[in-house]
Structure 1
Amino acid sequence: MKLLFVADPLATFKTYKDSTFAMMREAARRGHELWACEAREMGWRQDHPVGTAARRIRLTGDELAWFTVEEEARIALRDMDAVVMRKDPPFDTEYLYATHLLTQAEREGARVFNRAQALREHPEKLAILEFPQFIAPTLVSSDVDTLKAFHAEHGDVILKPLDGMGGAGIFRVKQDALNLGSILESLTLLGTRTIMAQRYLPAITQGDKRVLLIGGEPVPYALARIPQGTEVRGNLAAGGKGVAQPLSASDRAIAETLAPILAARGLLLVGLDIIGDRLTEINVTSPTCFQEITQQTGWDVASRFIDALEQQVAAATAAQATTADYRE
């Protein structure tokens, strides 16, 4: 297969932990052809399909100079067997525009994973609102007084922006409400930006668990990202320690409920964030933790992902062939 990865600049990859790199490595091991581009390089022109400046790469096996460019060309996305969207957040207007270009490419016959419409419809903080039975007490608002009332009700809360990643911009405000007004003014931009408030979950001390769903099925191990020292955030980017562990009964209940629903919407890969027995986020843009889980358990996450990708492409190819035969 010819695989196009839409990702951040390859030179910025930390290959010892990067999940996109793990996907590429497994795909290359199977003999698939690797192409890469950045979202900003995609474009559309009337009477032409959605295209991009792209590079065909070969993996070298070296940790630092980990790839070489074999060819540079402008390609049509529909000419690839699969387009894997792996652009990291933030989910800003440029990311949104990229998903619209990917939707147009899908109309032209491209196969995009995760599906562009599904990316737009599942903002990672807000997607949990569809499943209230699994979440902690939560408020989404830009109104400072409403947010203060939520804090007064619950006493110990987490406040976070809706477009952050890696734990950026997250605050815990305890019963004493120290600096609550200032924090809310800053996060909401004086009441003009919507944020999320959630009741603090003490189970965070045991880790913010990343549960991966691939092809509508949960990976049997989660990565518990455990806060270190006085830090309240478990995110690896914020210094959390990643510990792989089997799914708990509550992890599995949440995962098995959501997995078929999300897969049916075109989400091949999803990362659920769970604290204790409460769902806190549904990550669909570029879920990570492949390498940490594989290294600690031996369960090959990247292999399972490429299996699922191959199956999806084969099914789509068969469906297109059937449609063509029918039209003839």
Structure 2
Amino acid sequence: MPDYFVHPQALCESTAVGAGTRIWAFAHVLPGARIGADCNVCDHVFIENDVWLADRVTIKCGVQLWDGIRLESDVFVGPNATFSNDRFPRSRQRPEAFARTVVRQGASIGANATLLPGITVGAQAMVGAGAVVTRSVPPKAIVVGNPAKIVGYVQTPGAKTGTPGPRPTGVDGVTLHHLHQVQDMRGSLSVAEFGSDVPFAVRRYFLVFDVPSMQVRGEHAHHQCRQFLVAVKGSVHVLADDARHSEEFILDRPALGLLLPPMTWSVQYRYSPDAVLLVLASEHYDPEDYIRDYDRFVVLARALHRPPAAGIDSP
């Protein structure tokens, strides 16, 4: 007897089903599908052949998973969410290969959301109910609307504007700096001293501006480069992540700076229409210094924080 449950009114033609999985009434699973352990496939779900579900995936009622869909462990798919796998569908015309859509570990897809083919929803991201997702979603991002855009990030203590003076944050090595500001009837001035307020030698700067509000910048970490961010005009939301903790900040005045050390994943989003972001960098531009894949960043960052083996002195 199989060690998974199939309701008498369901049709499960696949034998690649993990222990403890439950497939409920009127669901139909084709022979080539692969389903992990302890999954919950609710009523009226259709799963095609080239579909992989990892462990502990929940598929609510009325969902169809077509060839090319990959759902990693602990993914939640809400009722009537719609996946697609062909950008130019025609009756009785099949592409040589269907687009691959991947939902990474721990992500959630809200009810009635629609996902275009060939995108990736990052780990622990949240797609809001009814969202139309036309491009890949970064890890931990919350997206809503049509087309879907980022409105926040999960697992952050909440956006902060900071308090006077530098202060540590919940992210390793990241500090928020209140810079000196002078105001009088002639205008306002903010100033930072290199070596104290900005605690490194600056070798490069760049400005980011004219960013549409729905666009996302950053989405990378550095092996060696340190950065100091100041919104010299307007406001920008910044997410900092050390692979163990993440925190969100609002840079909304020229007297507020954010220090990002190496091996910090950073994302900038929700630029105001007039936003100008100044970034001071400790290194000259080097494409090899960038880490642009979040999964690779997590592996590298966690290796740095791994405790030394017993009997071996730490460096």
Alignment TM-score > 0.5, same fold: no
Specify the structure having the higher radius of gyration (Cα).
2
TM-score normalized by structure 1? 0.23
TM-score normalized by structure 2? 0.24
Q: Answer 1 or 2: which has greater helix percent.
A: 1
Q: Answer 1 or 2: which has greater strand percent.
A: 2
